[in-house]
Chains A and B, each alone.
Chain A
Amino acid sequence: MSELAHGTGSHLPAAEVPEMELPHPHGWWSTYVFSQDAKVIGIQYSFTALAIGSVALVLSWLMRLQLGFPGTFSFIDPQAYLQFITMHGMIMVVYLLTALFLGGFGNYLIPLMLGARDMVFPFVNMLSYWVYLLAVLVLVASFFVPGGPTGAGWTLYPPQAILSGTPGREWGIVLMLLSLCLFIVGFTMGGLNYVVTVLQARTRGMTLMRMPLTIWGIFTATVMALLAFPALFVGAVMMLLDRLLGTSFFMPTLVEMGQQLRYGGGSPILFQHLFWFFGHPEVYIVALPAFGIVSDLISTHARRNIFGYRMMVWAIVVIGALSFVVWAHHMYVSGMNPWFGFFFATTTLIIAIPTAIKVYNWLLTLWRGNIHLNTPMLFALGFIVTFVNGGLTGLFLGNVVVDVPLSDTMFVVAHFHMVMGVAPVMVIFGGIYHWYPKVTGRMLGETMGRIHFWITFLGAYAIFFPMHYLGLLGMPRRYHEIGETSFVPESAHDLNAFISVMALVVGAAQILFLFNLFWSLRRGREAGPNPWRATTLEWQTPETPPGHGNWGRELPVVYRWAYDYAVPGAADDFVPQNQKLPPPLHVARGEATA
């Protein structure tokens, strides 16, 4: 590989970024299965995440069937219901969103967007995927063990998580904790790769401030995840020991069914601190890549440079830092010193400032843009609207006095589904529609895409908007059946049935998406190297789909930032990052120079 030279012009100095040695695959297995190519690993991550995410989608159907039509489905007993919500939550947050954004988009896009040949540690990167797959398999295994998966709720709060009243106490919880530990180990391997690649393997001219915002989002989120996941790891290991060895890290002295348990002296609140020290940054670990990707989608499909690029970068960094000092706003009802609550409410509300800056900048990017309302753009717009909606209810819940009555109601469910369920998923879809042509060389079916968008978008609102009202009525979350109460009127039950029907419809629309993914693989329109006429480096590869090593003989050299759309005087409405000078208008038109 050493003969590979850098740069395009002879006037350029010798390579500053040393060429990396790529492991060359021999045969089918090392090309497609045990591949060390970040692009293949990214696709593997994405498929595994989508597969396990589909399981979680079906679980949400089952939950909604029970909530909308209580008593109709005899196989959904209270135990099963609790198991469904637990697995749905944990799979969606950790195994789908985190894995897809960082493992999927991160692996595919980081080397391509930075002009690198691959991740810096390809072997470790491969290992990261296989450990992730193992984590997923261990999690899936918990469906088949005696007692089934754990039903402790996705927060796994002790002591109930490992007491005998909770479903899955025997095996389910053990497998869940084990799977989380594996996931974290796997993620750490991948995460070190992403960070070091961003720091070290950028091509010439790619300064940090010329990186696309997608990379800024993924980079910052990865750093956060590397620092936040250890808290979950510690919590999971300690709870595992409580369950298996009978230690009492989190288990207080307990009497169960009139019997004194052997536990004593543990602190359940300690687990909550550890869990949410991970759990809140986790929200932004999912949100920051979404912020980044949506910025690129909007800029590309509105043909305008992103408004306030610097502010966008700073906001990402500030949000990342602030998200580490807000965790206890999940614990207002656990009882805490009022000053403590005041502190965490304040930091929580402060995060709204950089977040609002980002929203304004997206809007200003769209302002007077040449908006192409294609599927990626629709999903990007859907994200902005949904994220603002979910963010506004976050302001309610961030305040202690408002949170206390709303805690553990459907209002909370509606809030977090809007802000970190629907909104990031919108970006995932938008991102897949946007980059699918690069991955496969073919466009995703546009009509199917639009149908998919409108059903998903309107359906998600039909599901989660009314849920806020249910929450305000006081309808509790996590209940298998509400039954007869004085504060829940009959109409609320009708609303629940409506939500359930809509959930089935939205879920079914995802089948269309999966069909589109496979259908377009063969039948999609040929995309060409740069169908969106985008500026970033991944669209400038010599081959589509990009080959092993991404860049042919020479690495690209970057001459400009990632958002040169509609540059005045340029012939085209976009100037790729690796293009030295935009050809002036009259040259491009073939007119004679004066």
Chain B
Amino acid sequence: MTGTLLLFGGLVAVALWWLSRQGLATRPWLEAGPLDDGPVRPISIPAAKLGLWMFMAVAATLLVLLLSAYSMRMEMADWSPPPRPRLLWANTVVLLLASVALHRAVQAARRGRRDAVASALMLGGGAGLLFLLGQLLAWRELAGSGYLPANNPADAFFYLITTFHGLHLLGGLVALGRTGASLRQAPLARLQLSVELCASYWHFLLAAWILLFFTLAFSPPFDWLVALCATPFR
């Protein structure tokens, strides 16, 4: 549960910081007027962006809960993790490439160069597809060596976590495809926003994958942290 608690601690900290700027100590019963110059300013980022950040918080919760379940199971005596396919390293690099490509797409969109946006999106989307393909190959390699989901929980967790991540990436590909499809017609401001949203999501997917990959591949890397947090309960 350590990971979950850390993530929730972070989310609570953000929420508290935000709430602290919302004038929660004001006395609304004494105020009158539309409060234009009050302490409270409306959030100035677009709704879609805020919505995406909220969604990423939910997706992060989902993935961290999976990791928590994983690490709780890991502490039991009969834990035997499967070998990690070398291919995962290559996949990580491919996903990193996708992230970089989308970063460049954002820059191109800011400069208003639709052609550059198009090629960067193609590169990013292609790299995303390649990553998914690579994950499937990694599955095949594992399954070929006899590490099947039904064998033991460690194997099952590997398939489960990569599936969850892959499905989120698939959703990202759909969004990317829609952005690409409206590339020519969309007004520039709208295109910029769409590309920025895609890029944020892909950076999130990259960060999530790196976290997941390291937890899956180098388990258990956080012995000391688990020990520290579990001390009061021992």
Query: Are A200's CB and B28's CB within 8 A?
Result: no
B86 at interface (Cβ–Cβ under 8 A)? no
* B47-A196 in contact (CB<8A): yes
* A262 touching B150, Cβ below 8 Å: yes
Question: What interface size band does chain B fall in?
Answer: 35 or more
Separation of A247 and B4 alpha carbons in the complex (Å): 24
B42 touches A17 (CB 8 A): yes
> Given B22, B32, B35, B153, which contacts A265 in the complex, CB threshold below 8 Å?
B153
Query: Which residue in B1, B24, B66, B232 is a CB contact (below 8 Å) of A209?
Result: B24
A13 touches B36 (CB 8 A): yes
Binds A, one of B72-80, B98-106, B108-116: B72-80
Contact in complex: A309, B29 (CB < 8 Å)? yes
Q: Which of A43-51, A511-519, A557-565 contacts B (4 or more CB under 8 A)?
A: A557-565
**Cα–Cα, bound, A237→B55 (Å):** 19
Closest residue of B by beta carbon distance from A209? B28
Assuming the contacts A120-B47, A208-B22, A317-B19, asked whether A226 and B57 have C-beta atoms less than 8 A apart, the reply is yes
Q: Which partner residue on chain B sits nearest A245 by CB separation?
A: B149
Shortest Cβ distance from residue A237 to the other chain B in the assembled complex, whole angstroms? 7
Which A residues lie within 8 Å of B65 (CB)?
230-231, 234, 274, 277
Asked if A324 is at the interface of the complex by the 8 Å CB criterion, the answer is yes
B50 at the interface (CB under 8 A from A): yes
Question: Do A188 and B33 touch (CB < 8 A)?
Answer: no
CB neighbours of B157 from chain A (8 A): 249
Q: Tell which of A120, A205, A305, A337 touches B29, judged by Cβ atoms closer than 8 Å.
A: A305
Q: How many A-B residue pairs have CB under 8 A?
A: 158
Contact B1 A267 (CB under 8 A): no
Most chain B beta-carbon neighbours within 10 Å: one of A227, A249, A337: A227
Contact of B62 among A195, A234, A266, A314 (CB under 8 A): A234
- Asked whether, in the complex, the Cβ of B47 is within 8 Å of the Cβ of A188, the reply is no
Check: A238 CB closer than 8 A to any chain B CB: yes
| Docked complex Cα distance between A317 and B61 (Å) | 19
Residues on A with beta carbons closer than 8 Å to the beta carbon of B156 = 241, 245, 247-249
Q: Which residues of A contact B55 (CB under 8 A)?
A: 188, 192
The yes or no answer to B51 lying at the interface (CB within 8 A) is yes
The listed residue (B8, B26, B66, B150) touching A234 by CB distance below 8 A is B66
**Separation of A581 and B33 alpha carbons in the complex (Å):** 9
- Mask of B42-82 contacts with A, CB within 8 angstroms, 1/0: 11000110110011011001100110010011001010000
Cβ of B31: which chain A residues have Cβ within 8 Å of it?
210, 560-561
A247→B66 CA distance, assembly (Å):
15
Tell whether, in the assembled complex, residue A192 and residue B54 are in contact, meaning their CB atoms are under 8 Å apart.
yes
Chain B residues with Cβ under 8 A from A266's Cβ?
153
Cβ of A146 within 8 Å of any chain B Cβ, yes or no, is no
* Shortest distance from the beta carbon of A225 to any chain B beta carbon, whole Å: 10
- Assess whether B12 is interfacial by the CB under 8 Å rule: yes
- Within 8 Å by CB of B23, from A207, A241, A245, A340, lies A207
Complex: A223 Cα to B14 Cα, angstroms: 13
Q: Is A313 an interface residue (CB 8 A)?
A: yes
Query: What residues of chain B lie closer than 8 Å to A39, measured between beta carbons?
Result: none
Measured CA separation A493–B23 after assembly (Å): 57
Q: Contact at B19–A202, with CB atoms within 8 Å? A: no
Whether A227 touches B152, Cβ cut-off 8 Å, given contacts A209-B28, A559-B33, is no
Query: A121 contacts the other chain (Cβ, under 8 Å)?
Result: yes
A73 within 8 A of B: no
Give bound CA distance, A247 to B156, whole Å. 6
Tell me whether B137 is interfacial, beta carbon within 8 Å: no
| In contact, B19 and A237 (Cβ under 8 angstroms) | no
Interface residues of A in 13-47 (CB under 8 A from B): 13, 16-17
Q: List residues 226-263 of chain A with CB under 8 A from any CB of chain B.
A: 226-227, 230-231, 233-234, 237-238, 241, 245-249, 262
- Determine the residue in chain B with the shortest Cβ distance to A17: B42
- Closest-by-CB residue of B relative to A338 is B233
> Which chain A residue lies CB-closest to B40?
A207
A238, A247, A264: the one contacting B69 at CB < 8 Å is A238
B25 near A: Cβ within 8 Å? yes
Contact (A200, B42) CB under 8 Å given A238-B69, A249-B156? yes
Establish whether residues A205 and B26, one from each chain, have CB atoms under 8 Å apart when the complex forms: no
Residue B144 is within 8 A (CB to CB) of chain A in the complex: no
Contact of B160 among A238, A267, A309, A564 (CB under 8 A): A238
**Residue A533 is within 8 A (CB to CB) of chain B in the complex:** no
Say whether A12 contacts B34, CB under 8 Å.
yes
Within 8 A of A (CB), among B139-182: 149-150, 152-153, 156-157, 160
Q: For residue A121, which residues in chain B have a CB less than 8 angstroms away from its CB? A: 47-48, 51
User: A208 contacts B24, CB within 8 Å?
Assistant: yes
Which residues does chain B contribute within 8 Å of A273, judged by CB atoms? 1, 69, 72
CB distance from B228 to the nearest CB of A (A): 15
CB distance from A344 to the nearest CB of B (A): 11
> B22 and A247: CB pair below 8 A?
no
Q: Which residue of B lies closest to A562 (CB)?
A: B28
A234 and B69 in contact, given A121-B47, A196-B47, A209-B22 (Cβ under 8 angstroms): yes
Do the beta carbons of A561 and B28 come within 8 Å of each other? yes
* B187 located at the interface, meaning its Cβ lies under 8 Å from any Cβ of chain A in the complex: no
Q: Which B residue's beta carbon lies closest to that of A207?
A: B40
B11 at the A/B interface (Cβ < 8 Å)?
Answer: yes
Do B57 and A559 touch across chains, with their CB atoms under 8 A apart? no
Query: Is A265 a contact partner of B152 (Cβ separation < 8 A)?
Result: yes
Within A180-238, the residues touching B (CB, 8 Å) are 188, 192-193, 195-196, 199-202, 204-205, 207-210, 223, 226-227, 230-231, 233-234, 237-238
By Cβ-Cβ distance, the 5 closest A-B pairs, closest first, are A561-B28, A205-B34, A247-B156, A230-B62, A246-B150
Instruction: Jot down 14 A-B pairs with beta carbons below 8 A, ordered by A.
Output: A12-B34, A120-B47, A196-B50, A196-B51, A205-B35, A207-B22, A208-B23, A208-B40, A210-B28, A237-B160, A246-B150, A248-B153, A559-B32, A560-B32
Other A-B pairs, 11, CB within 8 Å; known A248-B150, A270-B72, A557-B34 = A121-B51, A199-B50, A207-B23, A227-B11, A247-B149, A249-B153, A267-B76, A309-B28, A321-B12, A559-B34, A564-B29
